[in-house]
Amino acid sequence: MKTSPQIARDYSKGQVRSADGTTIGYRQRGRGPALILVHGGMQASQHFTRLAATLSAHFTVYVPDRRGRGLSGPHGDHYSVLREVDDLRALVAATGASRIFGLSSGALITLRAAPAIPALDRVALYEPPLSVGGSVPMDWVPRLHREIAAGKIISALVTALKGLGTEPVFDRVPRSVLVPLMAAGSRLRRDVPEDEVPIEALVPTQRFDMQIIREMADTVQDYAALDARVLLLDGAKSPAYFRVALDALSAVLPHARRVSFPGLGHSGPDDDGDPQRVGAALADFFGAQ
């Protein structure tokens, strides 16, 4: 992923302090009502550069680096999804945001935060991997842990991409080809901008995202009384387990509607997808003026 330098320069930085003392840093751009964007696994705030730029015409957009990444402090002891909810609570308190969007594991955190932070009255979720009766594949996770522990970061990246199934091309190419190919690509790309987190630092964070998926499995009924308006988003090309989650949430959330994007996959909102298209739907839902 390469971020446009013209877009990347147009933001300021800030930080808040979470309940356990961890610093949560964020990128800020635009003017208008406050809107928080929560990135997914193996990502950082840099991956929402184009989405934030699209939405900044209507909103003051805050894109935090989730803990363990970039501008923010470490995951810390006793990590759980509730730590990340605390992080969002601190950001909401500082910004006055009532609008929030999350992608993938960021959508899970956003979902968990919605009933805990009453100020959030408009919540948009793109493909939360909410496991329903074991719908999210997890059998590959022990291998991920072993490879990270052994320092085999590129192998761990391939394991995660194949295990999650979010990029169909990786399902068709054998590991014996993918690992050396991606390792060579990583060696060639040494021009990572100073304000970006390299992929080698992001891959190990995936084990914490898988912990969130385990923690939140089979919790659909927890959101049956959620007062917030919720927009459930998905890409038609994504794995079926995301639609299982959205179907289950649609059945219990009292104020939810669905939007599906033909031709898009799991990366739809981020810089490698079509953030302008997703951003237009978000601006409509969040009430762009």
pLDDT, tens digit (0-9, with 9 covering 90-100), for 154-163: 999 999 999 9
Residue 128 has pLDDT above 90, yes or no: yes
Q: Give pLDDT, residue 169.
A: 80
122 and 174 part of one domain: no
44 and 78 part of one domain: yes
CA dist list (Å): 126 to 76, 137, 185, 215: 27, 18, 29, 19
- Average pLDDT rounded to a whole number, residues 204-232: 98
Order the strands of the 229-235 sheet from edge to edge: 12-17, 23-29, 60-64, 34-38, 99-103, 122-126, 229-235, 256-261
224 and 282 part of one domain: yes
Give pLDDT tens digits for 49-91. Answer: 999 999 999 999 999 999 999 999 999 999 999 999 999 999 9
42 and 123 part of one domain: yes
Selection from 57, 2, 116 nearest residue 283 by Cα: 57
Q: Which domain holds residue 29?
A: 5-134+219-286
Give the least confident one: 43-47, 164-168, 205-209: 164-168
Which of 181, 206, 231 lies at the terminal end of a domain, its last residue? Answer: 206
Residue 38 in tokens:
């929560």
264 and 128 part of one domain: yes
Residue 2 has pLDDT above 50, yes or no: no
Q: Give pLDDT, residue 137.
A: 96
Residue 58 within any structural domain of the chain: yes
Q: Give pLDDT, residue 187.
A: 59
Q: What is the pTM (predicted TM-score) of this model?
A: 0.94
What letter does residue 165 receive in the DSSP assignment? -
Residue 288 has pLDDT above 70, yes or no: no
The total number of structural domains that make up the chain = 2
| Spatial distance between the Cα atoms of 270 and 98, rounded to a whole number of angstroms | 22
Which of 153, 176, 206 lies at the terminal end of a domain, its last residue? Answer: 206
Residue 9 has pLDDT above 90, yes or no: no
Residue 213 within any structural domain of the chain: no
Percentage of residues in the chain having pLDDT higher than 90: 85
Q: Give pLDDT, residue 19.
A: 97
Give pLDDT tens digits for 97-120. Answer: 999 999 999 999 999 999 999 999
Runs of H (alpha helix) within 63-150: 81-95, 105-113, 141-149
106 and 166 part of one domain: no
128 and 261 part of one domain: yes
Banded model confidence at residue 265, pLDDT cuts 50, 70, 90: very high
Mean pLDDT, the chain, rounded, equals: 93
Residue 70 within any structural domain of the chain: yes
Q: Which of residues 121 and 167 earns the better pLDDT score?
A: 121
